[in-house]
């Protein structure tokens, strides 16, 4: 996965389709490590370079854990780091500029009720912006399918204590984000029904994985994804992030191997049927468009990505587009 091919990305430039429409970007990361830098200056450049991004949501990515803390408390270091980055962004953007409106951190849900102390520490570190936890579980037994960055097993949602941890989130007024592959979606359905008090946000369209054996049987895999996702949609406490469309490493788009990056029209042609299925299945008031930056930069720039989403959203009414681009994220993450 290469996110810094700026010369390659620079071969295709687009102006914003609708530069005035307000956007809340509910999914981006921040880091400064051996893999590169994406911090407040880079986020500011993206969010002000083309489209009208007014608020964002940071989602955990193992940045700046506290190495001196216990294993359970180490992720609180990331919340401290992002709080500082949020303040740096606010100072740099000035009045009316984009702001990080919410922080989604990591805590091990398998801790069960004992996760309460970790959540309280995140809330204190978040400066009023901490909203919930993402515990990524994307995993598959097949060796050709990549795992997840927190090393969770493919069946961890069924492990003792996991539902207790997610329930504790809801009891404390926090939400649960999850990134998984589509064969795992039945586990999420069972979890959502077990913890109706917890708001659950399913990332990246429920992970329609198309690598390894799932790419070999692409049509069958996508049919399984549709079936599983439709069942998740019967759970009223689940909302869906519609994005991740640049992740060639998971979704097998082939965009990253092209001589030049794809245009928004090419992206729309590839993704629109699945994107529309997501929105039509959950409803616009339970869907939110996301950037997943800078991860999605492996195949497209920030302006091109939002152009593709604006084009795919154009079939919906004005009020439905307001939900997709602003209202759902604002409500779910309680962004002022």
Decide if 197 is inside a domain: yes
> Is the overall model pTM greater than 0.95, yes or no?
yes
Cis peptide preceding 294, ω within 30 of 0: yes
Q: What is the CB neighbour count within 10 angstroms for residue 92?
A: 14
Please report the pLDDT score of residue 10 as a whole number. Answer: 97
Q: What is d(CA 169, CA 157) in angstroms, rounded to the nearest whole number?
A: 15
Identify whether the C-beta of residue 291 lies closer than 8 Å to the C-beta of residue 42: no
Length of the chain, please?
Answer: 336
Decide if 16 is inside a domain: no
CA distances from 139 to 135, 154, 315 (A): 12, 5, 34
Decide if 13 is inside a domain: no
Identify whether the C-beta of residue 326 lies closer than 8 Å to the C-beta of residue 314: no
pLDDT, one tens digit per residue, over 259-284 is 999 999 999 999 999 999 999 999 99
Please report the pLDDT score of residue 2 as a whole number. Answer: 86
Residues 6+ apart with CB under 8 A from 224: 182, 183
Structural domains counted in the chain: 1
Question: Structure tokens of 174?
Answer: 């926090």
Across the chain, mean pLDDT equals 96
Element (H, E) at 228: helix 218-232
Output DSSP code: residue 182: G
End-to-end CA distance of the chain: 35
Please report the pLDDT score of residue 247 as a whole number. Answer: 96
Decide if 225 is inside a domain: yes
Name the pairing type of β-strands 200-202 and 238-242: parallel
Decide if 1 is inside a domain: no
Q: What is d(CA 274, CA 247) in angstroms, rounded to the nearest whole number?
A: 15
Please report the pLDDT score of residue 35 as a whole number. Answer: 76
Q: List Cβ<8 Å contacts ≥24 apart for 119-122.
A: 119/168, 119/169, 119/172, 119/174, 121/73, 121/76, 122/75, 122/76, 122/79
Please report the pLDDT score of residue 160 as a whole number. Answer: 83
Q: What is the CB neighbour count within 10 angstroms for residue 268?
A: 19
pLDDT, one tens digit per residue, over 10-47 is 999 999 999 999 999 999 999 998 779 999 999 999 99
pLDDT below 70 — which residues of the chain?
Answer: 152
Q: What is d(CA 11, CA 127) in angstroms, rounded to the nearest whole number?
A: 40
Domain range for 319 is 21-332
Question: Structure tokens of 46?
Answer: 């993206």
Q: Is residue 164 classed exposed, middle or buried when 0-12, 13-18 and 19+ CB atoms within 10 A define those classes?
A: middle
Decide if 4 is inside a domain: no
Report the CATH number at residue 220. Answer: 3.20.20.140
Residues 6+ apart with CB under 8 A from 134: 59, 60, 104, 105, 106, 176, 177, 178, 179, 203
Please report the pLDDT score of residue 325 as a whole number. Answer: 98
Decide if 234 is inside a domain: yes
Decide if 6 is inside a domain: no
DSSP per residue, 234-302 = T-TTEEEEE--TT-HHHH---GGGSSSPPPHHHHHHHHHHHHHHHHHHH-GGGEEE---BTGGGGT--H
Helices first, then strands: H and E counts in the chain: 13, 10
């Amino acid at each position: 996965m290469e996110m810094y091919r700026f010369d390659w990305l620079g071969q295709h430039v687009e102006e914003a389709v609708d530069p005035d429409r307000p956007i809340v970007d509910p999914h981006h990361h921040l880091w400064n490590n051996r893999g590169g830098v994406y911090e407040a200056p880079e986020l500011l450049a993206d969010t002000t370079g083309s489209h009208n991004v007014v608020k964002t949501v940071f989602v955990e990515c193992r940045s700046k854990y506290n190495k001196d803390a216990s294993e359970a408390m180490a992720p609180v270091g990331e919340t401290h780091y992002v709080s500082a980055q949020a303040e740096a962004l606010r100072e740099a953007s000035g009045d009316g500029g984009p702001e990080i409106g919410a922080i989604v951190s990591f805590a091990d849900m398998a801790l069960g009720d004992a996760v309460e102390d970790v959540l309280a520490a995140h809330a204190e570190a978040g400066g009023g912006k901490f909203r919930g936890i993402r515990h990524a579980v994307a995993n598959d037994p097949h060796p050709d399918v990549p795992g997840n960055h927190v090393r969770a097993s493919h069946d961890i949602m069924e492990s003792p204590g996991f539902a207790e941890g997610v329930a504790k989130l809801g009891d404390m007024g926090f939400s649960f984000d999850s990134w998984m592959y589509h064969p795992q979606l039945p586990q999420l359905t069972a979890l959502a029904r077990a913890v109706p008090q917890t708001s659950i946000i399913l990332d990246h369209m429920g992970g329609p994985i198309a690598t390894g054996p799932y790419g070999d049987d692409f049509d069958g895999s996508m049919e399984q994804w549709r079936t599983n996702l439709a069942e998740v949609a019967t759970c009223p406490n689940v909302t869906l992030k519609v994005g991740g469309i640049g992740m060639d490493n998971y979704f097998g788009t082939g965009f990253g191997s092209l001589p030049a990056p794809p245009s928004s029209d090419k992206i729309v042609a590839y993704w629109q049927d699945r994107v529309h299925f997501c929105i039509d299945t959950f409803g616009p008031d339970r869907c939110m468009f996301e950037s997943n930056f800078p991860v999605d930069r492996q195949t497209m720039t920030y302006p091109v990505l939002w152009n593709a989403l604006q084009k795919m959203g154009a079939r919906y009414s004005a009020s439905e587009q307001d939900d997709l681009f602003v209202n759902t994220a604002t409500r779910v993450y309680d962004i002022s």
